[in-house]
Amino acid sequence: MAAPILKVGDDAPTFSLPDSQGNQVSLNGYKGKWAVLYFYPKDDTPGCTKEACQFRDDFKTLEALGAKVIGVSIDDSFSHKKFAEKYNLPFPLLSDASGEVAARYGALNNFLIIIKLAKRYTFLINPQGKIAKIYLSVDTSKHSQEIIDDLKKLKESI
């Protein structure tokens, strides 16, 4: 099943997924705010840890710009809970165990039949629920700063 190719200006596909505490988090709950929706392959691996910690370190700056960070992977809520606690992550990590949401965003890798991982893709979603920027090639060491820079530019152009 080929995922639809999302473009800037498209409505962000809505979803509701469990966070690390088992609470359902819906994208609709972020209407009226900027959302940084980032998909990542696996909890507690080097690249994913670097990316998550960069978002953690830049969290106050992102919040000051009116943006909320949401991480999504195929890992279960228990794995997310351990990962978030280990690195003091102040934003929700959502479990997309079926890979359905990642697939809707074109961010699902299928290896063979049994192995699924989310691709390292990020979507910057504006307060109206539209995709404002898509990142398909992510450098984990500077990704959150790239989003901060783009968010400033996007907010200036409004």
Positions marked catalytic? 48
As given in the structure block, the two tokens for residue 56 are 């953690």
CA angle (141 as vertex; 52, 123 as ends), nearest 5: 60
Q: How far is CA 6 from CA 45, 90, 100, 112, 136, in A?
A: 27, 28, 15, 25, 11
Q: Tell me the Ramachandran region of residue 148: left when phi exceeds 0, alpha when psi lies from -120 to 50, beta otherwise.
A: alpha
Return the exposure string of 50-86: e unless at least 16 CB atoms fall within 10 Å of the residue's CB, then b. Answer: ebbebbbebbeebeebebbbbbbbbbebebbbebbee
69 SS3 class? strand
Report the alpha-carbon distance of residue 76 to residue 80 in Å, rounded: 6
DSSP 11: B
